[in-house]
Structure 1
Amino acid sequence: MMVLTARRLAAELGAWRVAGPAYSALADRIRLLTLDGRIPLGTRLPAERELASELGVSRTTVAAAYARLREAGYLHSTRGSGSVVAIPGRFSPVEDVEARTTTTLDFSKAALPAAPQVGEASLRAARALPAYLSGTGYDPLGLPRLRQALAERYTAKGLPTDPENIMVTLGAQHAISLITKTFLSRADTALVEAPSYPHAYDALGLAARKLVTVTVDPRRGWDDHGLMQAFRSANPALAYVMPDFHNPTGAVMPACQRELLMDLATRHDSLVVADETTADLRIDGAAGAPLAAYGPAILVGSMGKTVWGGLRIGWIRAQPEKIRRLEQARYAQDLGTPILEQLIALELLGQYDEILRFRTVQLTEGRDHVEHLLRANFPQWEVPHVAGGLCTWVNIGEPVSSQLALAARDGGLPIGAGPRFGLGGAFERFLRFPLSYPAEETSLAVEILAEAWRRVDQSRAVGTEFKPALV
């Protein structure tokens, strides 16, 4: 059983205190962390006395928060096991059964449904599979034909690439985890963006001693001064960035900043990892040249965002000696990418430009609809205009993002609160809103969000406690 220390929970809670009783605010924040997956089911929370000491509150406050969570089904307490995180309606903290409540929509994910070409490509791949059945099926680097096709796409972008520069992975998250485990040690510091992709934080946090951040703003982009300061003061062993249609801000790093980043990395002997999973999702903008065109960066790509999340195919583009190190390290985690999925990916690469044109139409319609609805329903919010990617990073003007996300969940709309994309509870004034859902679902989501905002706003106006339902 995983045990969450008081210090780690306090860091995840961030700025949890809001108007009203402290025990209620603490319970609500722990609930949001659970629903977001930041506290895994079956995790044991710290003892009441330890958490109270870490947070600087009375033990009575923590006891009352735990009691509220137990009453609502978010904690189970058993002798010898303490308080264990659960979801209401599940028979046990780790049993995979349906919860009592169901949601109408799920806007916590910024993702697209499968491209229309996936079905036919899968059938063609299945017909090609028998030619590979005489082999062992273990494939740590990837099919030579697929590596060649991926290398050709990079070369066409102006980055000469050979198959020896490519490793095929089980999606982008697998690639990020493999890179961090291979090139980071527990003595190292890693540089990350803030806000950023939450699961990258998870992978880097498991491998590195410390994470330092550089700010990314939807309009101003990356903070040059912050970038230089982070390299000078922290000397990071690895820097993880998403330079094209950044998740969640949608920002694109200009060429001058790419040069600055790679120059800093070279001078400080830092490894740069560029996550390109959203780089092909242009709307009316354009991605920059691959970061590896400015220096020896490792690039991570995937079909999860462009084609379909159910197709677990990603890749790493790096110098051959780094690919060899990754190959050796991979044996400790898995023995390769499934052949059939690689064959499907190979089929889809032949239609990739057509798929991307289709995605541009989808995302243009989604972006325009989202921006219109949000600006009409929330005139006080700051809704940036994004040129690509899957989401927009909305400034809601008040530090109530977690409260708003809880209220929206109670209305049937899971959505990403700002702190989900930061460290230490930052970004309470922001909300991530996806662009990737059909117009009717987006309209319904905005209706639910508007009602949730009224509830939160009214409670703040009269100075009373906002009490989202706990079941």
Structure 2
Amino acid sequence: MTGQVRGVQLARLLGQWHALPGRRRSPDYAALAGTVRGLLADGRLPLGVRLPAERELAEALRISRTTVTAAYRQLRETGHLASRRGAGSWTMLPGNHRVASTGLWTPLDDREMLDLGVAALAAPPQLLTAARAATEDLPRYLGGAGYHPTGIIELREAVADAYAARGLPTSADQIMVTSGTQHALDLVLRLALAPGGSVLVESPTYPNALAALAGRRARITTHGLAADGWEPDLLLGSLRQTRPKLAYLIPEFQNPTGHLMPASLRERVVAAAHAVGTDLVIDESFVDLPLDGTELPPPVGVYDRHSRVISIGGMSKPYWGGLRIGWVRASAPQVQRLAAVRVGVDMASPVLDQLVAVHLLADADAIVAERRVQLAVQRDALLGALAQRLPDWRVTVPRGGVTLWAELDGPVSSALARAAEEVGVRLAPGPRFGLDGTMERFLRLPFTLPAADLVEAVGRIAAVRYDLDRTGRQRWREPAVIA
């Protein structure tokens, strides 16, 4: 959404804006203004877009124009809206905000926040050892210019070996190193998707992937995930009917649901994609993190015979998000075309970071094993706290990855996220993982913080969830259909 948002669009994003803590103690205009601020904070309402005229929004919300006028006035006073007579009002943010670790806007004074908006772990202790070893290797590269558009050969070989160990023979020429998985996706979209091209994605899905697709002005269609994962006939039917240029899928511990795609469906998806001319972009960000002894199906690329599968992955989830190393696995000619595109974007990834990655991958078995034990403990602590404090929430226990996808006891995800922020917990509400403001009954909860922090966070969330019921209007607690 860029440029201007219409009244009906904003009304859809606002959803059940009455569901705010302290609702009976605050007027309608304050609730409306607070909801707009929440949309700005979690990225669903971009900066610099023109909001609808007061009369248009009042008609869309079926409220008085006076209420909208007062809400806009409060937004101007708090620095969230800039207005010019006769020209309209544009979204903005006050100067006391910064970009948080989620990539979203947050107040400067939130350093002690329990951040459940980020699904990533702190760095492992082995990172320091790897960094020291990398500095000793660096002199070998200092005699050159330092530009390696496809990545240094040591890292490409290490990544290729990891694919081969999973049953997918891969050469270094099929690997391109990128500055993180998100960068890998961006480069693939630049190469393979013309502006306005059609793309099929899962729903829910990774918000930053939706942002990247929006940047290409993609026409997005969705496959809705069921409680137990993908519906094979519906997914294959969507491919055959819409014939998208690309399909973006997360088959290993899908973000945010944690589902694992079975081998039989992987094979059928590749066959269907080839039949209709669709390229598959397979996000393998969580492939290293199966829990409870879960056995992984073969990589999707195993079933590819026609260069239809482009796999992306990286170091962020099993290792550390601050190490901006990702990669693309594709055919050797596709990698060369990606490198040509990349030269016009950022030239190459940092050599020192790539050397650190080489040393971490050399110790991958030990590091990843420790991560899995850590995540299993933290997941179980989070599940236990939810069962005790929020027993009406429904959660499917994931067999890997780093996130729970919780179905709440009412369509209050955005309201709950705003209320939780007031007690020091940052949440990622369900609508961030879909289109058009749906999924208000869902919430993504990563288990990447220490167990004690997760238990504390759930306690705070439970308290504000109770407040929503105590102070909300009864009519907003009725069940709603979630698309």
**Is the pair's TM-score, using the shorter chain for normalization, greater than 0.5?**
yes
Distance 1:90 1:164, change over 3 A: closer
Displacement of 1:248 after TM fit? 0.6
Displacement of 1:320 after TM fit? 1.2
Q: Which runs of 5+ in 1 are unaligned?
A: 466-471
Pair 1:270-2:268 in alignment: no
Q: 1:36 aligns with which of 36, 39, 42?
A: 42
In 1, the alpha carbon distance for the partners of 2:158 and 2:116 equals 34
After TM superposition, list the pairs within 5 Å mapping 1:68-147 onto structure 2: 68-77=74-83, 82-87=89-94, 89-90=96-97, 99=108, 103-147=112-156
- RMSD value, Cα: 2.6
Distance 1:54 1:375, change over 3 A: same
Q: Secondary structure at the match of 2:327?
A: strand
Instruction: Give CA-to-partner distance per residue, 1:108-150, whole Å, 9 cap, x none.
Output: 1111000111011001101111110111111110001111111
Q: Secondary structure at the match of 2:236?
A: helix
Query: Do the aligned residues in 1 keep the contact of 2:405 with 2:442 (CA within 8 Å)?
Result: yes
Displacement of 1:50 after TM fit? 8.2
Distance 1:200 1:464, change over 3 A: closer
Pair 1:180-2:200 in alignment: no
Displacement of 1:261 after TM fit? 1.1
Q: 2:332 aligns with which of 314, 320, 325?
A: 320
Number of aligned positions between the proteins: 458
Pair 1:416-2:428 in alignment: yes
Q: 2:387 aligns with which of 350, 358, 375?
A: 375
AA in 1 matched with 2:91: V
Distance 1:160 1:54, change over 3 A: farther
Pair 1:162-2:174 in alignment: no
Pair 1:214-2:223 in alignment: yes
Distance 1:320 1:443, change over 3 A: same
In 1, the alpha carbon distance for the partners of 2:13 and 2:59 equals 11
Query: Could you say which residue in structure 1 is the equivalent of 2:262?
Result: 254
Instruction: Give CA-to-partner distance per residue, 1:207-259, whole Å, 9 cap, x none.
Output: 24310001123x42112232133223321100000000111110000011112
Q: Secondary structure at the match of 1:139?
A: coil
Displacement of 1:364 after TM fit? 0.6
Q: 2:250 aligns with which of 218, 242, 245?
A: 242
Distance 1:8 1:198, change over 3 A: farther
Q: Secondary structure at the match of 1:186?
A: coil
In 2, the alpha carbon distance for the partners of 1:383 and 1:229 equals 28
TM-score by length of 1: 0.90
In 1, the alpha carbon distance for the partners of 2:154 and 2:51 equals 51
Q: Secondary structure at the match of 1:335?
A: coil
Instruction: Give CA-to-partner distance per residue, 1:168-216, whole Å, 9 cap, x none.
Output: 0000000011111110112421000100100001111222431000112
AA in 1 matched with 2:336: R
In 2, the alpha carbon distance for the partners of 1:54 and 1:347 equals 60
In 1, the alpha carbon distance for the partners of 2:95 and 2:267 equals 50
Query: Could you say which residue in structure 2 is the equivalent of 1:227?
Result: 235
Percent pairwise identity: 38
Structure 1 range deviating more: 435-444 or 236-245: 435-444
AA in 2 matched with 1:245: F
In 2, the alpha carbon distance for the partners of 1:16 and 1:53 equals 15
Displacement of 1:461 after TM fit? 6.4
Query: Do the aligned residues in 2 keep the contact of 1:73 with 1:89 (CA within 8 Å)?
Result: no
Displacement of 1:381 after TM fit? 0.8
Distance 1:237 1:462, change over 3 A: closer
Pair 1:405-2:384 in alignment: no
In 2, the alpha carbon distance for the partners of 1:208 and 1:72 equals 32
